[in-house]
Amino acid sequence: MACGANNDGQLGPLQTRVSDGADPAQDILLSSSLNSSSSGVARHRLVLRPTQVRLPVHPAELASGRYRLLRLSAGRAHSLLVTSHGAYAFGNNAFGQCGRPAGGESAAVARLALPCPPESVQRLVCGQDSTYLLTADGRVYSCGLGADGQLGLGGFDNSDRFQLVDVGAPVADLACRADTVLALGEDGCVYGWGNSEYGQLGTDALQVDRPIRLDHVMHSVLSANQQVDRVAAAGSMCALLTRCGRVWVWGYGRLGLGPDVTQLAEPRPIPDGLFGRTQLAKDVRIVQLDAGMYHFAAVTNSGSLYTWGDQRSGSLGLGHDDNQCFPLQVSLACRVQWTRCGVDHTIICGTAFA
């Protein structure tokens, strides 16, 4: 199911029939000038409630119980999903970010030719106008906009098909929300490419078109005798999570270190106390980390959620409209299992307290 902005057909072909007697016009707003795509599939400008997306699946496949949704990701105006029977894309494809010949947008579902079996896709990551696959054996593939070198292919051209990125080591984790890409190698090193206007990649170059090892990141972390476990890349900020549960940040923005620290060339750890670790709660640590375009979200091993950054459209979930310069716990009546950050929204999955 899908909801939200749909000017480019990024929600896919929607099932608009309503069986409960509700008026679909109250939930789906049609644009008079954009109510159909070039493919003839109806495209709705704004979808106010979760609405079923119609995928080209044969009923027999669904009835067999073998059809599974494996991976799902959404960029600024495009969406991709990987199922046990193949991969599909819809939405804006002006730069080839849907993995097919570039051109316009479409609410029609297009089946993709993946460079690997669907089951081997471990991560599906959508940047603003680019897309990345991380496979089980640590390979990275990219397609879409390449203007900032974010495809990592050794140039600034766009690509309308998935191409292999030579990271230099098998990759264990991959992150991109805009046009800066971070990769954690199985060798424990952090690699990066793409936009570096605020020194995120530790180089004087504003754009990096091939993966490079981020020595400034590794120096900071290794000097503290820590090892990287996860990476997160926002629009102009970066973060990583170490195996001991400490969050490190660098780049430009509301980094989580207070109002006076808005730009860092090298990673700096956020004090553990800001995430609830005290003398009475020494075992509290961060176990999950994710980045939106302008904000971060972190989950502790006790199921608490902390957010910080720009308060775009209530994305921090703190009940107010103020930006947040340091991590603040979100009040929730559940134990958080995981969270995912969008451009200006946050999704939380949790278990309600008994």
| Residue-by-residue DSSP string for 163-201 | EEE--SS-EEEEE-SSSEEEEEETTS-EEEEEE-TTSTT
Token look-up 């939380």 returns: 348
Q: Which residue has the higher pLDDT, 111 or 185?
A: 185
Distance in angstroms between the alpha carbons of the first and the last residue of the chain: 28
pLDDT, position 50: 66
Q: How far apart are CA 3 and CA 212, in angstroms?
A: 37
Q: Which pLDDT band, with edges at 50, 70 and 90, does 292 fall under? A: very high
At residue 27, does pLDDT exceed 70? no
Rounded CA separation 269/239 (Å):
9
Q: Return the number of other C-beta atoms located less than 10 Å from residue 339's C-beta.
A: 21
CA distance 162 to 143: 5
Indicate the pTM of the whole model: 0.88
> Three-state SS across 202-237?
CCCCCEEEEEEECHHHHHHHHCCCCCEEEEEECCCE
pLDDT band (50, 70, 90) for residue 106? low
- Spell out the residues 6+ positions from residue 31 whose beta carbon is closer than 8 angstroms to its own: 7, 44, 45
Lowest mean pLDDT among 91-105, 240-254, 276-290: 91-105
Distance CA 31, CA 34 (A): 5
Give pLDDT, residue 342. Answer: 86
CA 47, 49, 52 angle in degrees (round to 5)? 85
Q: What is the overall mean pLDDT for the chain?
A: 88
- Between CA 196 and CA 183 the distance in angstroms is 15
Q: What is the mean pLDDT of residues 196-201?
A: 97
Say which residue, 27 or 57, is predicted with more confidence.
57
Q: For residue 324, give the 3-state DSSP assignment.
A: strand
- Is residue 20's pLDDT more than 50? no
- Residues in CB range of 245: below 8 A, 6 or more apart: 272, 285, 286, 287, 301
- To 5 degrees, how large is the angle CA 87–CA 109–CA 340? 60
Give pLDDT, residue 35.
Answer: 40
For residues 36 and 48, give the distance between their C-alpha atoms in angstroms, rounded to a whole number.
18
User: What are the structure tokens assigned to 68, written together?
Assistant: 């599974």
Cα angle: 282, vertex 287, 289; to 5 degrees: 130
Residue 114 has pLDDT above 50, yes or no: yes
How much is the pLDDT for 54?
76
User: pLDDT tens, 119-177?
Assistant: 999 999 999 999 999 999 999 999 999 999 999 999 999 999 999 999 999 999 999 99
Percent of the chain with pLDDT over 90: 68
Domains of the chain and any CATH numbers: 168-354 (2.130.10.30)
